[in-house]
Amino acid sequence: MSNRNIRIIIILGTIAIASVLVLQIYLLRKTWRLEEDKLNQRIHSALKSTSERVITFNNSSLSPQEKVKQIAPGYFVVNTNSDIDKSVLEYFLKLSFDEFNIKLNFEYSIYNCYYDTMEYGNQIVYNPDEIEFEAPGHFMKSKDFVYYFGIYFPGIQSYLWKELSVVIIFSAAVILITIFFGYSIIIILKQKRLSELQREFINTMTHEFKTPISTINIAADVLSNKDILKTPERIITYTNLIKQENTRLNSQVERVLQLARLEKKNFGLKKELINLNDLIKNVCQSFEMNAESQNFEINYNLNATQTDIMADKLHVTNMLFNLIDNAIKYRKEELLIIVSTFNNNNSIILQIEDTGIGISKEFIQKVFNLFYRVPTGNLHNVKGFGLGLYYVKTICRKHRWDIQLESVIGVGSKFVITIPQKQSSL
């Protein structure tokens, strides 16, 4: 599938997922409002019936005007146009609520026009497990009526949640399924990308293995010719060539084996007490033998005084080897590598700095990814599998060390590894 088609699928999939989520949220909110309106209508009808009963009981009358008014969420005021007896009001409230099948906890307060205050009445409990009453101070007065009472339903939200529980569950299920679908697309795309990287890795690995094998085969054919015995210098040349290509082949095999070890679920570290400065010197000395012929220089600034750490010697050695080897491979004509250690607070800082070609800022975070290689355009002078820095990052993470990369194109790169000092005594 082409990248263009993949982009189209991603865009359409994103639009579809977003549309489903927005539609589901819209429908849920609309259903909530409809259910809330239905409940408020039933409450209005019950309170209107209560008002009419109180008026009839008091032999009073009320001109055709609004009897019930909602002035806050869950709070209503009811006009009676006559004095209100607490026990009579409570009786008619229960009677009206039974008629309209309203089983909500409520509390009420009666307005005293002589003192201009709301006199608290009582709390009526239908559901003891859902008592949510607050302090009586939330009963507000109304300027629209003279004789009235206020009634407050603290459990309306809980009631709506319960009534819409099935709808909410199905909506949540749809949302979760949609999110899972979106996550699946992301995983599929990541797997596709990983598959492409693996295919590229296999192609590169095949080429890298094929070249030294072919060279060794050619050298072996030459050495098998009897005439070569007449030119001993050629024997030495081809023998050295076989040895060189064999070393190169072993190096490539070791890199693949490193990846295999990292991919094991039971991958662990065999920690031992090692001196970091001594280990750095040993690794650097193996490179210094070719420093003059390859036109590079390694300098040390090993100023750390406390350098004994608990670490896996093999993996730390390979990590240092990879960092220095990368600096040599990705370089200008002349190269200076500076390896430094120093103590900072409760940590040992290891820095490997070079004057190489550098890495663009957009690639700095990606270079630690498996199989990733910084694009070099049409230049293919440096071969590799994209395993080195992934291995370095993994080893640091296994040791619980922090690694940071600073790099500037044309100036060079600097890897900074922070080793907590407390790990030295583990």
Written as tens digits, the pLDDT of the chain (426 aa) is 566 776 777 777 778 777 877 887 888 888 888 888 888 888 999 999 988 888 888 887 766 567 888 888 888 999 988 888 888 998 999 999 999 988 888 888 898 888 888 888 888 888 776 665 554 456 888 888 888 999 998 878 777 877 777 777 877 887 787 788 778 777 877 777 777 767 766 766 676 677 678 778 888 888 888 777 778 888 888 888 888 778 767 766 776 776 666 666 556 788 899 999 999 998 888 788 777 777 888 898 898 888 889 998 888 988 898 898 888 887 777 889 999 999 988 889 999 999 888 888 888 888 887 777 776 544 444 555 567 788 888 889 889 999 999 998 888 899 999 998 765 444
Q: Is 320 helix (H, G, I), strand (E, B) or coil?
A: helix
Selection from 213, 424, 212 nearest residue 311 by Cα? 424
**Structurally, what CATH architecture does the domain formed by 166-263 represent?**
Orthogonal Bundle (1.10)
Residue 368 near residue 322, CB atoms below 8 Å: no
CA dihedral 286, 289, 293, 296 (to 10 degrees): 60
- Residue pair 368/387 in contact by the 8 Å Cβ criterion: no
Q: Strands, E, within 116-268: which ranges?
A: 117-124, 148-152
How many CA atoms, within 13 angstroms, populate the side-chain half-sphere of residue 293? 4
Both tokens of 281, joined, read 């010197």
From the candidate CATH numbers 3.40.50.2000, 3.20.20.70, 3.30.565.10, 3.90.950.20, the one assigned to the domain spanning 271-425: 3.30.565.10
Backbone angles phi, psi at 108, to 5 degrees: -135, 160
Judge whether 148 and 142 are in contact, CB under 8 Å: yes
CA separation, residue 314 to residues 268, 283, 317, 321 (Å): 12, 11, 5, 11
Q: How many CB atoms lie within 10 A of CB 87?
A: 9
Q: Is the dihedral of CA 262, 268, 272, 276 positive or negative?
A: positive
Q: How far is CA 70 from the centre of its chain?
A: 46
Rg (CA), the chain: 40
Alpha-carbon gap, residue 397 to 111, rounded angstroms: 71
How far apart CA 306 and CA 197 sit, in angstroms, is 41
What is the per-residue pLDDT across 58-113, written as a single tens digit (0 to 9) for each?
A: 887 766 567 888 888 888 999 988 888 888 998 999 999 999 988 888 888 898 88
Q: Which secondary-structure segment (H or E) carries 354? A: strand 347-354
C-alpha pair distances (Å), 235 with each of 73, 211, 218: 98, 21, 13
Nearest to 330 by CA among 245, 407, 244: 407
Phi (first) and psi of residue 300, to 5 degrees:
-115, 140
Q: Where in the chain are all domains bearing CATH 1.10.287.130?
A: 166-263
Task: Give 343's strand partners.
Answer: 348
Domain(s) of CATH 3.30.565.10: residues in the chain: 271-425
Give pLDDT, residue 377.
47
DSSP element (H, E) containing 415: strand 412-420
Angle between helices 165-223 and 3-57 (to 10 degrees): 170
On whether the CB atoms of residues 142 and 77 are closer than 8 A, the answer is yes
